[in-house]
Amino acid sequence: MQELFDVTGMILRAEPVGEYDKRLVILTAESGKITCFAKGARRQGNRFMASTDPFCFGNFRLFPGRNTYSLNEARILNYFAPLREDYERACYGMFFLELSDYYTVENNDEKPMLKLLYRSVEALFHESIPKELVRCVFELKALCVNGEYPGIPEPEAAGLSSFDPSTEYTMRLIETTDPGKLYHFTVSEKVLGELRAVCDLYRRRFIGRTLKSLEILDTIQ
């Protein structure tokens, strides 16, 4: 009989299964992206009801089955509860979750991506940092973490005649800074616009499908 084991991570997706269960996709530090089932999590009063929603970060005790895992226990360290009261921030956060889901795989070292995701969701509540800057930093650093970042592009490729020197400096800063220490600066509107153009360019180049959360986010902006 296989033993229970513990992982630390954040829930990326929670989908209804059957009458009362949930299918969870969790980005973990130990096993990359994993899928598990939480039995009865949609039943009123169930012990997993509050701990199996997207953004929940904590320790999850799992039981390995033949093809998947079952949730045995959840100890949530951060629910990011204010996101449930702020639609705009929640839309940014859902975009971060969907992009993390796209980039990560099972049985891979995803610690840097998990750290980036956690710090980025946390940064959405820093009033001194524009939410759109958090989004740009997250997108560019996610490319770096996944080894796909090609460096600073030619301005023309991003639809610009040139880059502000501060834009190039910011992109190098994002590339070289630890994911846990990224959100300690802000930029001008001009630089933010240029960063957004670079993100749009690289998203078209490296992501082969439309992200639903991004469509919603673009609608409300």
pLDDT band at 210 (very low <50, low <70, confident <90, very high): confident
Same fold, 5-79 and 82-220: no
Instruction: Output the six-digit token pair for 191.
Output: 């630089």
Encoded tokens for 116: 């980036």
Q: Which fold has domain 5-79?
A: OB fold (Dihydrolipoamide Acetyltransferase, E2P) (2.40.50)
7, 32 Cβ separation under 8 angstroms: no
pTM to 2 decimal places? 0.94
Show the tokens assigned to 203.
Answer: 């998203």
Model pLDDT for residues 155-193, shown as the tens digit of each residue: 999 999 999 999 999 999 999 999 889 999 999 999 999
pLDDT band at 220 (very low <50, low <70, confident <90, very high): confident
Q: What angle do CA 177, 27, 100 make, to 5 degrees?
A: 60
Domain range list for the chain: 5-79, 82-220
Give pLDDT, residue 67: 78
Residue 1 — very low, low, confident or very high, per pLDDT cuts 50/70/90? low
User: Does the domain made of 82-220 have the CATH classification 1.10.10?
Assistant: no
Q: What is the pLDDT of residues 96-121, one digit of tens each?
A: 999 999 999 988 999 999 999 999 99
